[in-house]
A and B are shown apart, each in its own frame.
With several copies, the nearest count.
Chain A
Amino acid sequence: MSESVVSEIKRKYMHKLAQANKRIDGRSFNEYRPLRIETGIIKKAEGSAKVELGNTKILVGIKLEQGEPYPDTPDSGVLTTNAELIPMASPEFEAGPPDENAIELARVVDRGIRETEVIDLEKLCIEPGEKVWIVFIDIHVLDYDGNLFDASSLAAIAALLTAKVPNERFDMGEDEPLPIKNDPPISCTFVKYGGVIAVDPCLEEEIIAEARLTVATDKDGNIRAMQKGLSGSFTIDEVRKIIKAAVDNGARIRKILNESTGRENGKEN
């Protein structure tokens, strides 16, 4: 994003730091920024979470509406994920329909939740073939200082884990918790620049990054999703190293997620 406007001087400076085993914000290469998750903050939403990852701030709101199921899954609720890179979050973001960056972000978050079957979509069927719950995950990027993939994915999951089905609004009885099926995957993103690999890149690192790899892992240390980005390449060994680090970081992040969503004991609904 906007690579051409960054001076070569800055790039060279950061490469030099990398050679000296240093990051521009003083972290070690395997150090995640401070992470804060807050849920249930939007009254009008069925679920919501704000994630602060360093200076990056993401707000995710969940809305449930009723609609028709897809013809090929008449017994299942529908999941749809949208990301808005609003101009508030960065001078580089422009108003208008989602661009390729917003679309990639929404699709990666969506696949992580969908493929792992975090939500029990079959329990969101109201009338088979006729009426089901549609779960809208809306990712609102408020402040952009790098690593939207991890922050957005976490915020979406935290919002889902604490969301409700709004039966009352539709005169269908009392609200109930959104049915959760599987433990969510934890996404962990790495970038490569100047010969080093850094976890949880801040914006200045993203701007000069050559390649990016996001790995989502489950609580058993298995891989649930991967997404490589940018025009640089990885060696096979680098990928293996990243997977290992993603599993390690994933466990720590999962703990924070569980604490902030009242799932400390790891028990599932």
Chain B
Amino acid sequence: MSKKPEDLKLIDENGRRIDGRKPDELRPVKIKAGPLYRADGSCYIEWGNNKILAAVYGPKETLPRHEQHPLKAIVNARYNMASFSVEERKRPGPDRRSIEISKVVGEALEHIILVEKLPRATIDINIEVLDADAGTRCAGLTAAAVALADAGIPMRDIPVACSAGKVDGQVVLDLCKEEDNYGEADMPVAIAPRKKEILLLQMDGHLTPQEFDEALELAIKGCEIVSKLQKEALLEKYIKEVGRENE
């Protein structure tokens, strides 16, 4: 939410956004399940210009043993940006932003994993942002959810995330970079789609309670669209594997 250049219009006279989208339109999203060989589960997502890989290892025994939880699995999420994924090279290693995102994404995903069925175990979730545009935490969480399913981790549902926000006074879906920089509010939301439980919710900017309701509804609508793409990606991988086994 930087200061907007005065002549910058983010919504034109036809109600179109700076990248030509309608207010409730998502950027193009492509999802592929299982692209990696070593990981127990993996997913590659392209969401607008974001390119993100997620990999899951586990469940495996928590080591050292004194860190085991006797009643449930420990879920570790690590969100990382490749140093070349942003305009100005980022120093490798976690910064404060990626530590916070790792925390909120990990907490959101933990809710949906049947951790109580996997005592003393650890599940490691790795999210690598290879090319970054706005909305990496939503895209990364969405990919991580597919990777968890691909790894066969028992889950109550497949979480999914999408952001909504406010741009030039208008509530819009899935902010792009310019909208994120110069808009009035950005609100990433993750849900468990089956019961519409809210798993992740952050907001910065300025929303009236009415705008918040509108934005939340829009974000959930976006989540539901992406949720279908997640399931198609998993199905496609499943069909391929069955096909291979039947050869």
Q: A224-252: which residues lie under 8 A (CB-CB) from chain B? A: 224-236, 239-240, 243-244, 247
Q: Number of contact residues on B: which range applies? A: 35 or more
Q: Number of contact residues on A: which range applies? A: 35 or more
**Contact A88 B55, beta carbon cutoff 8 Å:** yes
Q: Chain B residues with Cβ under 8 A from A244's Cβ?
A: 209
Main secondary structure of the interface of B (DSSP, over half): mixed
- Assembly CA distance A44 to B110 (angstroms): 32
- Assembly CA distance A138 to B82 (angstroms): 8
**Contact A86 B126, beta carbon cutoff 8 Å:** yes
- Assembly CA distance A95 to B2 (angstroms): 32
B130 within 8 A of partner (CB): yes
Interface with A: B6-14, B83-91, B222-230, B232-240, which one?
B83-91
Q: Which residue of A lies closest to B107 (CB)?
A: A231
**Contact A107 B96, beta carbon cutoff 8 Å:** yes
Contacting residue for A228 out of B99, B192, B201, B205, CB 8 A? B201
A231 to chain B, nearest CB (A): 4
- Assembly CA distance A243 to B207 (angstroms): 11
Task: Mark B7-49 against chain A: 1 for CB-CB distance below 8 A, else 0.
Answer: 0000000000000000000000000000011110000000001
Main secondary structure of the interface of A (DSSP, over half): mixed
Q: Which residue of B lies closest to A81 (CB)?
A: B96
Q: Which residue of A lies closest to B217 (CB)?
A: A236
- Assembly CA distance A221 to B103 (angstroms): 29
Task: Mark A134-157 against chain B: 1 for CB-CB distance below 8 A, else 0.
Answer: 001010101111000000000000
Contacting residue for B84 out of A63, A87, A107, A222, CB 8 A? A63
Contacting residue for B38 out of A143, A234, A235, A243, CB 8 A? A143
Q: Chain A residues with Cβ under 8 A from B37's Cβ?
A: 55, 57, 143, 145
A residues whose Cβ falls under 8 Å from a Cβ of B: 4, 41-45, 48, 55, 57, 59, 61-63, 65, 73, 82, 84, 86-91, 95-97, 100, 103-104, 106-107, 111, 115, 136, 138, 140, 142-145, 169, 213, 218, 221-236, 239-240, 243-244, 247
